[in-house]
Structure 1
């Protein structure tokens, strides 16, 4: 990636859908708030713009999705003037962030100067510093960006932590440096400098990884809807553990949200070196809320936004990881104009947001993003035709879909726009051999875990009901055994992909790129 690439609207994608999707920190009743006068802010700062309609967060979202970012920023700013604090400051920061992503220093500073310093509490303070860092980066001031960035505190939302980490990565790639002896708060007003975290539980602060991992405890469901899933994951754990010999043992503790605390304590009492799980997000949130983690946990899901612990390492089959990989793969090949098609669901929104963020950060442009209804093929066709009509210049289609949805959508795309290559995540393949049905997926390029492709080549894919979850269990053991020595610069060749550890203790995966030929997945050549 070139320095020029790094300067393309670095964080706009990371904000895409912020108010409409899960990253929103504003309540939904803000969406139709119109502007009224407010004596706190000077009317001379209300710039004239060409948008039509009363300023509102909803209108700003619409303009943003249309690619009219300067107008979107101004609409956010104007809409903010009629809101009470702290929502007002939060929306002004959104306006400033959009302007900063465009490298517009004058407009960004105009927005920021109208935020009273005393109103910058909590996460707004970190967003203020992040916006200044983003502006510096977009103006080729990589070292200044590193100085301005807030720390990756566990008190911040996951969305903001992700954006901070991305700007830090880009700044370092652009040659920015921050000598160890130099304070990261240089040039930052005292009231905006970070304060030490005070809510860290003393027991958590003392949690360290064992020198050797021999006894593993698996907090997994063994009954109910997730029972079969838990059993397949645990089978993967046992089979992988046997590769390390008799020195590695694992024990399953049947776990639900109601029993997770007692089962965790039992596993600790039994001498577990590392806890694997829980799988259920609700159970994980309950465990974290207890502030009693004395033994490290490698979860098999991801926490609710904002929750964390020094003892927690998070691992799972994240669809966002796959969407980001598709974005990186396509932009690196010069495919920088995308049509995004995802189902109209929370999962679809997450996928679109992750892809858009990474795609735009790498210099790509999403020319249109459409959520299609989960209904009939006739409705799919109507939605697709409208999407293609609004996607002039698109070079690829990023498709979020289940196997059933993909089998309907791909033939329609082939008929309507045969020149557009279709990229997707592993969710388009069921993990079962269904050549006749999957013939409709011909030509889709997608992310797949190595275990599925290897099992397919060896003729044993159909021996497992949930092959990807079985592989998750295998890799959980490998990661647990490697955690004491694993650093950000080390990578493991796992069954779910190439595995690395991020600075905030998230396990990240890089999958294999595959395609469908004659109804079967095969490694992309």
Structure 2
């Protein structure tokens, strides 16, 4: 963990505190941090679109800082400073440690009705409600989430809560109110983006919620949001490229909604960090030589496996061999033949820890797929997601209150930022000899 005193001393411009230790003065902090701090003070009194605009401006300022400066200036922020949660989130997105726990003065999560936590932080609810679309058009997506949650639940040998499922297909408001009336002390769900917005827009949430998607409004204090979004993959890919000094990136993108959203998030993140997307082209492009001549030093693929195999061959012809290449998880779609997939060797992509390394408490992804249709193919990702929803619920208090609070979930390493958003660091994987292996 970064030590605040050490970081401040290394930064220069230090004064001596009453206990004899150095600290960073306001004047010695970066201009971006000072601007962001002023904005954070004003944003604390705002809500709605105005607050969102201020938060985005703060994030853009923090994104301009290199890792060392961001860590130093974050550690120097005093307890209770409204900027700390923003800066801490920026650290998590880069895989950097927090200097101290997030400031949660408005965190209303109350676990007082539960037995004391075990040494590892395990402290599940007493009665757990799960809000999912068990019927209707979203039921197919909900089934692997439900089964993954139950797999994690039944794998736990310690005391567990009573679990009750509520169908949101006939109305998420009614489902939540019924869960509250029936005495549940924690809620997992809902799953749909609009449903999450509806729940988080309520005047009050008497029972705290772990939503399974991002809504159009942030989680109210004491509530949390967990999702697997294309935007998260785009941001993660941008950070992966930046960590490898790639600042001029060529994007090969597809046309579906997920691919476009991942590409937009990557472009925005690179722009915030001073890098650029040189070009965005489709997978049907046959000659990349003209793009390579623009000083490309990294590539991003938002396409499926079969298209990526052809693109990698064309990269080689254009002289782009040896440069870092990162893709979205859609790279796995259409793969499975090692002889053909050898063309994908070396591409980094976000994968689930469960599928590449396995995790305690779950059978291997291969074994689970042989037993359950809901753990097969693309559904396996949602199965892992459901498993992690249970883990987050059981360890929420520890995650929320510790500077190093994290769990090694089926979808990756999970932490919760100061605004209640679960931050996921994926288990990066690659192809080697046409076989998927951990990176």
| Common topology (TM > 0.5) | yes
| Corresponding position of 1:164 | 58
Q: Give the C-alpha shift of residue 517 in structure 1.
A: 2.0
**Cα distance in structure 2, aligned partners of 1:308 and 1:276:** 13
For the 8 Å contact 2:305–2:335, the answer to whether it is kept is no
For the 8 Å contact 1:241–1:249, the answer to whether it is kept is no
**Cα distance in structure 1, aligned partners of 2:70 and 2:215:** 28
Q: Give the C-alpha shift of residue 425 in structure 1.
A: 1.9
Partner SS state of residue 279, structure 1 = coil
| Corresponding position of 1:381 | 285
**Cα distance in structure 2, aligned partners of 1:447 and 1:229:** 20
Q: Give the C-alpha shift of residue 182 in structure 1.
A: 8.7
Give the root-mean-square deviation of aligned CA atoms.
3.5
Question: Does residue 467 of structure 1 match 2:368?
Answer: no
Corresponding residue to 2:416 among 482, 487, 501: 501
For the 8 Å contact 2:248–2:297, the answer to whether it is kept is yes
| Aligned 1:231-242 pairs, distance under 5 A | 231-242=143-154
Corresponding residue to 1:293 among 201, 205, 212: 205
For the 8 Å contact 1:328–1:362, the answer to whether it is kept is no
Question: Does residue 173 of structure 1 match 2:173?
Answer: no
Q: Give the C-alpha shift of residue 360 in structure 1.
A: 3.9
**Cα distance in structure 2, aligned partners of 1:160 and 1:339:** 30
Question: Does residue 337 of structure 1 match 2:243?
Answer: no
**Cα distance in structure 2, aligned partners of 1:254 and 1:314:** 19
Q: 1:346 to 1:459 in 2, by over 3 A?
A: closer
Identify the range of structure 1 (492-501 vs 220-229) with the bigger mean alpha-carbon deviation.
220-229
**Cα distance in structure 2, aligned partners of 1:209 and 1:428:** 41
| Corresponding position of 2:95 | none
| Aligned 1:409-448 pairs, distance under 5 A | 409-419=311-321, 420-430=323-333, 433-435=336-338, 438-448=341-351
Question: Does residue 478 of structure 1 match 2:391?
Answer: yes
Q: CA deviation digits over 1:227-257, x for unaligned, max 9?
A: 232121111111211215342332221222x
Q: 1:179 to 1:253 in 2, by over 3 A?
A: closer
**Cα distance in structure 2, aligned partners of 1:422 and 1:394:** 11
Q: 1:182 to 1:363 in 2, by over 3 A?
A: closer
TM-score, scaled relative to structure 2: 0.71
Q: Give the C-alpha shift of residue 166 in structure 1.
A: 5.5
Q: 1:251 to 1:406 in 2, by over 3 A?
A: farther
| Corresponding position of 2:16 | none
Corresponding residue to 2:299 among 397, 421, 424: 397
Which stretches of structure 1, 4 residues or more, deviate above 6 A after TM superposition?
Answer: 136-139, 181-184
Q: Give the gaps of 5 or more residues in structure 2.
A: 3-25, 84-105, 115-124
**Cα distance in structure 2, aligned partners of 1:493 and 1:341:** 31
| Corresponding position of 2:48 | 155
| Corresponding position of 2:226 | 315
Q: Give the gaps of 5 or more residues in structure 1.
A: 2-135, 185-204
Q: Give the C-alpha shift of residue 292 in structure 1.
A: 4.5
Partner SS state of residue 370, structure 1 = strand
For the 8 Å contact 1:278–1:300, the answer to whether it is kept is yes
Which structure would you say has the larger RCO, counting Cα contacts within 8 Å and 6 or more residues apart?
2
**Cα distance in structure 2, aligned partners of 1:435 and 1:297:** 43
Partner SS state of residue 484, structure 1 = helix
| Aligned 1:17-32 pairs, distance under 5 A | none
For the 8 Å contact 1:219–1:275, the answer to whether it is kept is yes
| Corresponding position of 2:163 | 250
For the 8 Å contact 2:306–2:335, the answer to whether it is kept is no
| Aligned 1:151-230 pairs, distance under 5 A | 151=43, 153-156=46-49, 158=52, 160-165=54-59, 167-168=61-62, 170=65, 172-175=70-73, 177-179=76-78, 208-211=109-112, 212=114, 213-230=125-142
Partner SS state of residue 500, structure 1 = strand
Q: 1:217 to 1:407 in 2, by over 3 A?
A: farther
CA radius of gyration, larger in: 1
Number of corresponding residues: 359
Question: Does residue 141 of structure 1 match 2:44?
Answer: no
Q: Give the C-alpha shift of residue 401 in structure 1.
A: 1.8
